[in-house]
Each structure stands twice: as C-alpha cells, then as structure tokens.
Structure 1
C-alpha cells in the first residue's frame, strides 16, 4: 500500500494539512514542526504527489522557456544557467522549441500547466506577449524583448556595446566600416546598430546603405554578407557583426576569399561566446555576463509569479566590455 500524507501526519503527530504546509516550506509552520514532518517523511520514504500539490496550491512549480532558434550556439549558454537558477528557486524548467511564436500561442502547454514563461527569442512584432498578458500568465524576456515600455526583461546594454566597437574602430583609423546586423525586428539587432551608428556619427564617419547587411543571427548571414560587402565600390576595412556566430561566418568567408584577417579586414563580434576565445577564432568581440543574464531573468520571473508587479526592478540591463583578441588591427 502506498504511503500517504496521512501516514506521515500520524507518525509526526500533526494534522494532514500541517504535513502539506510543512513540506511546501510554508513559514506559517514553525521550523521545529517542519523538521519533524520532514523526518517522518524520510522515515516512511514518502514522496509528495506533484499532482495533488498542484490542485491544492494552484501552482505547478514549472516554468516554460520558449526558444525558437535552438540551432544558434548562443542559446545553450543561456538555457543551462537559466535551468540551474530556476532549480535553485524550486522550479522545474520546460523547454518549448516551436519554430514560431504563433505555434507556441496555440499550445495547450500554456493553459494552467505552468506558472510562468521566459521568452528568449521574442521579436518586436511578436503577438505572444500580449496573449500571455491577457491570460494573466507571468512572463519575462531574456536577452531581447519587444521594445515596448513595461517589458519585464533581463537584457544587455546593446547600444553601449555598439558604441564601444565604433569608438575602437575609429581609434584604429578605420573609416570604411560595415555592419552585418541582426534582423530589423529584434531589439538586439536594432540597438546594437543604433549604438554603432551614433558613435560613428559623433566621429564624423558614415555608414552608407551599401555597407549594411541585416539578417538572422546565424552563421550563414555572415558568410553570405561578406561577398556582398566586398563587391561594393569601396570595400570595408572593418566589419562589426551582430553577434559572434555571424562574425564566425564572416571569418570563414574571408578565409575562402583569400582576405587576410586582421591585416586586410578587421572583424568584431558581440556576446563573447566561449567558442569566440578558441584558438581557431580568437575573435575580438563585446563581452557581457551570459550566466548573470539568465540568473536575473529567473529571479525576475519568480518575483512575478509571487505577485510582485511593481515598477521597481522590472528591467535588468547588464554592462558590456570590449574584448580585444586577434581579429582587429589598425587600418591597412
């Protein structure tokens, strides 16, 4: 016969509701009683029923993480620490990997099966955040958001990072610069481009349309972009890429085209993924704390689940720093 919470209650000498509250860590139960209940549960090898707990508390202790681009090497580096932080806060993580927000929006997984959602690949035109809001589903943005006022998010100082790159390139004497930016409907793409453009303009350096390419944050975007940039009337001496994955695509295309990096072409990325430091790349890039980005998102969501909807602490913006390696040099 299966051990029940009533058996634990009899052994501990308390009521069954007290067992349920004690095993949830409810602070209305004294520390001594909580410990007595835990000892009784261990003695009986009792495992609380998650289904029963959900019915009694209306909490599943599950969080959904929506990623629509798992092929991008960026996301494993934020999903793993997100999982660890949620686990430390008492939540289980469910990874949802539909190809689009529209597909996710139709999933019954979001109907009372989880307590909150982390949106890791949101776009500025995404309809899912509004749908979650209407359902009363707590949610936060990780890495990028919709760009609307009120988004609860853990993000990076993308504009500041773009400015860092532009100033470094100008200091190295580059005037014919190019940008391979992210998609126009992503805040990371927009903000990194904006910071880059603003700092170039302050230095009197232009960024003409023929030296700008936009696309998905993926290897192929960078690889294809370089041939386009090399065909313009005045080919660039430096390329700022929307992320490290795009930059690695540019590096490979340069190798295939016989363009020497950094002697003939400076290439700079963004994010400082672990692979950026590999000896085969030694990519000059912009660094931010990937693990802290995820940890902050987890903490923000747990506060939202607990009912904290105050304006203070709704947005965490992590700083950036320029990381010089082997793919940048003074203008040839």
Structure 2
C-alpha cells in the first residue's frame, strides 16, 4: 500500500495524506481522522526513507555515548522521551568504537543532529561536526574552542560545595578520588574542590588523591591507596556517585564505619544514591534540565540558528544525607580503625546513620 491508496480511500490528495500523517496544523482535525482511519484500514506504514527524501529531514537525532560510563544508561531513557515529545527518534552511537565509523555515520546525512555526551578535552569530533555544518550540541561535558553549543552543570561550583560540606563537618584531613583530567567534568570538579580547600587553608597532599575513571572500580581499588599511612584522611570527596559507591563498598568490606571512620561525599545525585542502604551525601546535578536544554539548543540549530556557540550552565545543589559527619575523636587507649586490606572485625561493618531532622 502507498500513500496514494490512502488518499483514494480517504477522498483527499496524496499531499494532504503526507501532511495529515505529520500532524501538520494546517490540516483540519476531521481530515486527519479520515486519513488515519484509511491508513489503519489499509495497514499503511509511512516510509521514513521516502519522507526524508521529500522533506530533507530524517526526524532522527544521534547521541554519541560512552558505553563504559554507566551514567548514560540511566539517562538515555529520559532523553528518548524528551526527543519523542518533540517528534524525533533517538539513535545511539558508541563513542569508544572506531572514530571513523562514528564520523561516517554522523556526516552521511542519516540524522538531523547530534548530541555528544562523551567529549574529552582533546576530542576532534566536535570541531569536525562544526566544520561540516552538522547541527550538534555537547551534553554534560564541553570542549574548549569547539564553538559548539553546550548544556552542562556548574561543576566547579559543585566541587567547591563538596569541599564546604566536609569543612563544615569539621574535617581537615581530607582526600579525593577524582575523575579523569581529560574531561571537563573531571577537571572542573577537581579545580573547585581544591580551590575551596586552599581558601580554607586545608592541605590536599598528593598521597591522599587518586585520579581514575568515573566507575565503581576506581572507588573500590583506590580507597586503600589514599588511606595508607599514619595521617590518613577522615573524609573523601568522590568525583561522582558511582566512584563513591565503589568506595563505600570497599570501606564496608574493610570494616570501616561510614561516616564515623570515613566520611564520603559524591557528585551527581543518582537515584541509587538516595536508597536508604546507601544514603550518600552528594551534589545534585539537574540532569532533566540539562537534557531539555540540550534538546532545545539542538533543535534551534536544526531550525536555522547560525550564531556563535552557546553554553548553558545549570546550577547544582548540595544534598546532605548520611555519609558525612564530624570526624570521631579517638578514645584514650583505643585502637585505630582497620585499614582497607586488613582483617575485618567479626561484627560491625558500614554503619550508616540517618541525619537528625
């Protein structure tokens, strides 16, 4: 069946069928109803390829994601719904695949626009998209000098807020499990955290800092390294919640009480961070607002906006839960808490207490 068959059954022109199926506001409701009933009776399915040829639009947006970063598996559903509400479909491309394959797909006219969520500071893809005139927006991370629109969180302010939480709780021996330095998120969160500690006169020696991927393995494997030595930290800033959950699991396995022996602060405020068994103090990132802003920026580009690159920076807010508190004073004659890797006590473990109202 073709659109001409639908037109004959509905008693309208083929052009009217095309506009009615696109919900063109110039077509009356009664005409749309007749066209839809005719299409259903004939089992007619519009051809996306034919529509793209006639309109010059695929109504499809590609999102370049890093499949190694579990954050995006939690957010792709929201982005799909946001695009669907505006008449677009979502295509996912793995950012850790062959760069030539990714660029070939994006530059071949198969999509109307691109959302890049995996950009590292040295990435060439944003500049390539800009140079080739492909509508694109950077989400969550940005690349200096790319002149692409970007929708990001205020990561520097968030890093400073995380430091302030620990300072307000009375911690002075503080460490950090930071993200990769070749991402804007990793670099800015670290810069804000370090800057606020420096303003407060609190040292952050290299022995208490480890840099790694935004994953649980980094949190779990780096915890022991930063807690070695006599003057180990009483509190840790983790550059995202996923790192913090890895550190929390490692602390529990080592018999450390959180927050009594070790306070933790994360970043992102993922849904799992609010689970009572986790109850992670963290920095809230408004991902929903970022997604909507990124889609708006991109659709404006697709619609013909030709101005310079725009960056929308979304404010972040501290969320105080149960993994931070003042460092516990040592009791006279008491033994130090066990170090990660030492034998765990027969009883006890991670003791997460809710904050008082």
Give the one of 198, 202, 207 matched to 1:201.
198
Distance between the aligned counterparts of 1:147 and 1:78, measured in 2? 24
Query: Which of 135, 151, 156 is the equivalent residue of 2:153?
Result: 156
2:59 to 55, 58, 61: 61
Range that drifts further, 10-19 or 114-123: 10-19
2:113 is aligned, of 110, 113, 116, to 116
Can you list the C-alpha shifts for 1:18-54, whole angstroms capped at 9, x where unaligned?
A: 4323433445656665566445545544332211101
Which residue is equivalent to 1:6? 4
How much is the aligned-residue C-alpha RMSD, in angstroms? 2.3
User: What is the count of residue pairs matched by the alignment?
Assistant: 328
Secondary structure of residue in 1 paired with 2:92:
strand
Return 192-201 or 98-107, whichever deviates more.
98-107
2-structure distance, mates of 1:192, 1:48: 47
8 Å Cα contact 1:141-1:154 kept in structure 2: yes
Unaligned runs of 5+ in 2: 329-357
Query: Residues 126-205 of structure 1 correspond to what in structure 2 (within 5 A)?
Result: 126-148=123-145, 150-205=147-202
Q: 1:242 to 1:128 in 2, by over 3 A?
A: same
Superposition pairs of residues 76-91 of structure 1, within 5 angstroms: 76-91=73-88
Q: 1:96 to 1:27 in 2, by over 3 A?
A: same
CA distance in 2, matches of 1:151, 1:106: 16
Instruction: Using the TM superposition, name which of 40-49 and 253-262 deviates more.
Output: 40-49
The CA deviation string for residues 73-127 of structure 1, in whole angstroms up to 9 with x for no partner, is 3112211100011111111111112424725535436411111111111111111
Matches for 1:215-226 after TM superposition, within 5 Å: 215-226=212-223
Q: Which moved more, 1:213-222 or 1:276-285?
A: 276-285
Q: Structure 1 residue 166: deviation in Å?
A: 1.1
Instruction: Tell me the secondary structure at the aligned position of residue 75 of structure 1.
Output: helix
Is 1:99 equivalent to 2:67 in the alignment? no
- Name the CA shift for 1:282/1:141 in 2 (closer, same or farther; >3 Å): same
Flag the 1:104–1:82 CA change in 2: closer, same or farther, 3 A.
Answer: farther
**Contact 1:266-1:329 at 8 Å conserved across structures:** yes
Q: Map 1:282-293 onto structure 2 (within 5 A).
A: 282-293=279-290
TM-score between the two structures when normalised by the length of structure 2:
0.84
| Aligned-partner SS, 1:213 | strand
CA distance in 2, matches of 1:311, 1:25: 32
Q: Is the 8 A contact 1:105 1:128 kept in 2?
A: no
Contact 1:157 1:318 in 2 (8 A): yes
Mark the CA change 1:287 to 1:100 in structure 2 (over 3 Å): closer, same or farther.
Answer: same
1:51 and 2:46 aligned? no
